[in-house]
Chains A and B, each alone.
Chain A
Amino acid sequence: TALNNRHGKRHGKKSKSRCSRKALHVNFKELGWDDWIIAPLDYEAYHCEGMCDFPLRSHLEPTNHAIIQTLMNSMDPNSTPPSCCVPTKLSPISILYIDSGNNVVYKQYEDMVVEQCGCR
């Protein structure tokens, strides 16, 4: 049985939710990058958050190591923390920007959007 371990606590409240993809809206203007990025000025990047506790769901595609670590944590929380909820699949976005020579450049940046989360 998974015990209530310390790692669920965050800002005084227990985050019960399981590892999943959550919204993360990125605004390049707020980052101060809107003076060189022409488009897009914002996009949805998502992020991964939640518990990787026992039993792990198969859609979280845990590695064998994460399975072992989760078992160890559920037996003795002091022996090891639970495995981590991280992006397991990412996708690119296109960015149109101005380079240092004032030229307009199109570039495809890999790993900019979280498509899937999992326990690792």
Chain B
Amino acid sequence: ARSAALVPSSGPKRNRGTRSPHDGQRSPKFLRDVFASSPGLSARDDFKNSVVPHDYMLSIYRTYSAAEKLGLNASFFRSSKSANTITSFVDRGKDEFSHSPLRRQKYVFDVSTLSDKEELVGAELRILRKPPEDALSSPSDLYNIELVSCGSARSLDSSTSVGLRNARNPAWEVLDVWDMFKSRLSTDHGGQLCMELRATVGQSDAEVDLRSLGFERRGRAQREKAILVVYARSRKRENLFNEMRENIKSSRGSRGSEQDTGLLFKARRRRR
């Protein structure tokens, strides 16, 4: 038996959180472990295969289901912010491919599927920093990475800054975007959350090339992409049929061809 990866309460502060790439991210063997109790994974539906669950979400699932077996409730863990629903949105952005330095990197997430029946309790952006061999190393070795709402001329409200010590090692940077998220909720942005990443070194305000710090998007595997993680607590007992109904609706929408409709009919009959 492997101990559940429970985050100790004295763990690193959320917005300073540079994690080693293995914290919460497991090797492929971990994937087999997680699904060991669920045979037939290889026969997964094509629709589902197109979505590769992020290692962080698998780690969340494994930790909290192991805790359940110990009789603990997921919402007891500080890292879950007393949430019982955690939704991940994988970064689908692309950097403009050019040789000019990448001063700002835009992250846009469509969060319109978040249920308004749930109380949101936290949000964070997790970005894996993979420094190139010739990584920059400033004498102070202290870089500041900041997230600002798109269109902000400077790091205005709800910017998050994280010191990057030893910028040479790969690490998951965890940026708390809860304030930005709340301000977006208050002013309707139609389900879009847009943030810009920028980095400065030491006390200067000059923006550094993000590629040299390891934020290049090109060539990343699905599980190395940045994810926005939103924590929510459902006020009433979650009803399984909500999701089932949602999925029937969305599979009806996404499948058009005759063959698929046949599948849909079969799937619907099976579900009934």
Contact = CB atoms under 8 A, between A and B. Distances in A.
Interface of A: 29, 31-36, 38-42, 91-94, 96-111
Contact of A32 (B40, B86, B267): B267
A106 B61 CA distance: 6
A106 to B, nearest CB: 4
A90 to B, nearest CB: 10
B150 to A, nearest CB: 20
Nearest to B112: A101
Nearest to B270: A32
Interface of B: 34-35, 37-41, 43-45, 47-48, 50-51, 53-54, 57-58, 60-61, 64-65, 68, 71, 73-75, 84-90, 110, 112-113, 234, 237-238, 240, 243-244, 246-247, 249-251, 267, 270-271
A71 B234 CA distance: 42
24 contacts: A29-B40, A29-B43, A31-B270, A34-B40, A34-B44, A35-B44, A35-B45, A35-B47, A35-B247, A36-B247, A38-B53, A40-B37, A93-B65, A94-B61, A96-B60, A100-B113, A101-B110, A101-B113, A103-B90, A104-B88, A106-B60, A107-B243, A108-B84, A110-B238
Contacts of B37: 40, 42
Contacts of B73: 92, 108
A37 B89 CA distance: 17
B113 A35 contact: no
Nearest to B50: A102
Nearest to A102: B51
Given A41-B41, A101-B110, A108 B48 contact: no
B38 A42 contact: yes
Nearest to A111: B237
A23 B267 CA distance: 27
